[in-house]
Amino acid sequence: MGKTDFTSKELEQYRKDFTDKDFWKKLQRFAVKAGSKAVYYALVLYYTLMDDNTPARYKAIIAGALGYFILPIDLIPDFIPFTGLADDWAALVAAIAYVSTAITPDIKAKARLKLKEWFPEAEVKEE
């Protein structure tokens, strides 16, 4: 099935691939295919990255995960039905786990608000 677990070092290696413009472009292009939960996680990571209070080490991990997410070529090509975004999902989930202490209620609220713009019916359950 492809890569389903990532170390923080593996995530960091993709930070050079992250750009703000490419992030929003990919997120908008794949929002429906990825689903509301994946979009929510990507948004949480993005807003955590933009937060001045997030430690630099966490920012490197987040930028790496989002860089991997926006890469046009990755372990499982995104166009493959059902499994194409599995590795992207795994990178996002791993990054959330690594940086969870930096994710504030305000960041989650920003992510939910943006998610509602694209998925008006989406319900995000906190885990």
Confirm whether 127 is domain-assigned. Answer: no
Confirm whether 2 is domain-assigned. Answer: no
Please state, in angstroms and rounded to a whole number, the distance separating the CA atoms of residues 65 and 95.
6
Confirm whether 114 is domain-assigned. Answer: yes
Predicted confidence (pLDDT) per residue in 50-70, tens digit? 999 999 999 999 999 998 888
Please state, in angstroms and rounded to a whole number, the distance separating the CA atoms of residues 86 and 105.
27
Question: Angle 54-57-62 (CA atoms, 0-180°, nearest 5)?
Answer: 70
Q: How many domains does the chain have?
A: 1
Confirm whether 53 is domain-assigned. Answer: yes
Structure tokens at 44: 């949480």
Predicted confidence (pLDDT) per residue in 88-115, tens digit? 888 899 999 999 999 999 999 999 999 8
DSSP string, 60-72: HHHHHHHHHHH-S
pTM of the model as a whole: 0.75
Predicted confidence (pLDDT) per residue in 3-24, tens digit? 556 777 777 777 777 888 887 7
The pLDDT assigned to 61 comes to 94
Segments forming the whole domain that contains residue 16? 8-118
CA distances from 10 to 21, 28, 102 (A): 23, 25, 20
